[in-house]
Amino acid sequence: MINHFLLTEIGQSPHVVSGEFDHDVEVNSFWDREDTRYQYTGTPLFLLRTREPLQEFTSKDSELSVGDVESYPYKPQWYSIFKEHHNSKCFPGLKYGNPINYGHTQVHVYQNDKEKMMDAGGQPYIDEHVLGQGLMTSFGWMVGMSMYNKHYWDDDLTRPMTCNTIVTDGQNFSFFCYQLNTIALHSRVSETNQLRNVCWYTKDAQLYEKLTEDGEVVNFNVDVLKTVIGMLMMPPGKNMLEAEEKPAQKELEES
């Protein structure tokens, strides 16, 4: 579907023409939370990166972005199924120094078979799984991008980083808009950090009900298609960091 879109007017959008696409790439990032280091590894089907970042979805000072986050006092090593040993690795889908270093949109397929998830817990289990996958893949990608833009838990973001995420099995689609406000999660800085990251999402929506034996599509949902197109067409905003630095640099040159 995405490849087909690129042959239409979407592929002529300025941010798409000047951007880069990655297919079947591995994405890695890591971060410290309290006294534990976490490693993320994802395998998106598709990534779109752009030269300028998407605009923030909400102000960094808004009620959504500032406030308490419910604590979870249980360490992952207490759950042996989550414990693995990895070397810390960061790779958000591009080599360091690539100027097209802002995430725009990513597409992920279901991590588990839908029929098995349905047997395990029904639709609520699927919804929880897709929500977790959308949150984790969005956060993991943006953490990697923030590190490639020279930000770490001891040198936090100066402006939010945002991305679109689509999780699908080809028939069902969930959409996420994620805003990373902070990566200062380590215990030595998190106690005084009131920022929290924000995500908006939709539950699974069917692109179509079924395919007949003759290949005919039954009950095609054009609204799902419009949402996919809308995410890909979302124009990046101005790079606020560069906009803030240029006047100061001009004054220095004139003096």
Q: Write the pLDDT tens digit of every residue in 115-157.
A: 777 777 788 888 898 999 999 999 999 999 999 999 988 889 9
Strand 217-218 versus strand 210-211 pairing type: antiparallel
Please determine, for residue 182, whether its predicted confidence score (pLDDT) is greater than 80. Answer: yes
Q: How confident is the model at residue 44 (pLDDT cuts 50, 70, 90)?
A: very high
User: Residue 80: is its pLDDT beyond 70?
Assistant: no
Most confident of 63-72, 75-84, 158-167: 158-167
**In terms of Cα–Cα distance, which of 109, 97, 89, 98 is closest to 21?**
98
Going by C-alpha positions, the residue among 30, 29, 31, 28 that lies closest to residue 185 is 31
Q: Say whether 223 sits in a helix, a strand or coil.
A: helix
Residue 146 amino acid letter: S
Distance set, CA 223 to CA 171, 207, 220 (Å) = 13, 8, 9
In terms of Cα–Cα distance, which of 233, 225, 234 is closest to 207? 225
Instruction: Say what the pLDDT of residue 81 is.
Output: 61
* Residue 244 identity: E
Calculate ∠ Cα 214-215-219, nearest 5°: 115
pTM for the structure as a whole: 0.85
Condensed to tens digits (0 to 9), the pLDDT of residues 197-209 reads 999 999 889 999 9
Distance between CA 190 and CA 181 in Å, rounded?
Answer: 13
Specify whether the CB–CB gap between 44 and 166 falls below 8 A.
no
Q: What is the mean pLDDT of the chain?
A: 83
Q: Which amino acid is at 68?
A: D
Backbone angles phi, psi at 36, to 5 degrees: -120, 140
What does the block give as tokens for 48? Answer: 């779109």
Task: Quote the CA–CA distance of 1 and 191 in Å, as a whole number.
Answer: 45
**Residue in 32, 3, 63 with CA at minimum distance from that of residue 153:** 32
